[in-house]
Amino acid sequence: MLGGKRTGSRHIAVVLLMCLFWYVISSSNNVIGKMVLNEFPFPMTVTLVQLCSITLYSGPFFNLWRIRKYQDIPRPYYYRLIVPLALGKLLASVTSHISLWKVPVSYAHTVKATMPLFTVVLTRLFFGEKQPTLVYLSLLPIITGVGIATVTEISFDMMGLISALISTMGFSMQNIFSKKVLKDTNIHHLRLLHLLGKLSLFIFLPLWLYMDSFAVFRHTAIKNLDYRVIALLFADGVLNWLQNIIAFSVLSLVTPLTYAVASASKRIFVIAVSLLILGNPVTWVNCLGMTLAIVGVLCYNRAKQITRGREQPTLPLSQNSNVKYSPLSQQTDPYYRGSVNGKLSNGLHRAPGNSLLANGSGMPSGTATRLLFV
């Protein structure tokens, strides 16, 4: 009993520590990204640096961590889902940097609180999925909060608003369709991140060469080898990669609802740090709108939890049941552990390694790996 309490306390301590790292790295990434774009106004190039970071760092580190490699994906499925996902990631990343360039970090993250709204609309359009009334009502504080923040934003820019909305829609679509890819292919979520990063870079590089490269090489920061700008670009790429890794690690340790609450709290932390360090002017009404939008996200998560609890059927119990249960051999659940004697449930062998990293989730339900992009 005492050992179980110690294990639970250790688990909570690890999650809290990783959340703290996540918040610090995410806020640092946003602040540095804003600083880079203020001095080096090329959002497409910043996107290119981040895609290069995902492509270059992920392979060696994932192999070092012994994360299982994905099997070959059928070519029709690859073109039907993987390529559109990569295009969506590319569009979301570019528009995210455009919004960060045009509007303050605090406002950009307030607009991104509309992700639940896009999730509800897109799941209805693509899958015909209807939500309970409680979920629809929980979207009202989000819409109201973002509306108040938009009307009272001192540094408002229409292109920044549109870019932030497109970016949020793109990340929402990736979250929706990544669920299907993860289920269909059994690919590890970090390997999927790496795959999409490589494919996005391959698609984006010719476009960057045509659109941005000549202007970038003529910019004074590159011509004069401004080491400060170059160092900020490098740091932005590394921090973006680390942010994704830590976010996925937190996701593998907690339930989806806990992760959603942690993500909303992270948004508050990023907004507060950006206001403190970058010092963009805000009014109390503007802060009220930001707060209302974040509270709306928490209400949406709570509404989803309540409605899911209502939908789960209750199994009848019988006191005179004669059903006998035998324990699993070696106390090993193949679904929970991901393998039996080194073999996956589909009979394929996997390389030995950390069970958490190999499975992508420390939770029996496996639902914790269903969200991919944050």
Average pLDDT over residues 237-257: 83
Q: CB count, 10 Å around CB of 129? A: 12
- Which two three-digit tokens encode residue 68? 């299982």
pLDDT digits (tens, 9 = 90+) for 314-359: 444 444 444 454 555 444 444 344 444 444 444 444 444 443 444 4
Per-residue pLDDT band at 311 (split at 50, 70, 90): low
Model's pTM, two decimal places?
Answer: 0.78
Provide the pLDDT for residue 233: 95
Beta bridge partners of 343: 340, 349
- Please name the amino acid found at residue 43: P
Provide the pLDDT for residue 312: 58
Beta bridge partners of 340: 343
Q: 112 — phi, psi (to 5°)?
A: -70, -10
Q: What angle do CA 25, 31, 36 make, to 5 degrees?
A: 120
Q: Is the pLDDT of residue 41 over 80?
A: yes
Provide the pLDDT for residue 145: 95
Specify burial of residue 364 (Cβ count, 10 A radius: 0-12, 13-18, 19+): exposed
- Indicate if the alpha-carbon torsion angle 88, 94, 96, 99 is positive or negative: negative
Average pLDDT taken over every residue of the chain? 82
Residues 51 and 46: their CA atoms lie apart, in Å, by 9
pLDDT digits (tens, 9 = 90+) for 170-198: 988 887 888 788 888 888 888 988 999 99
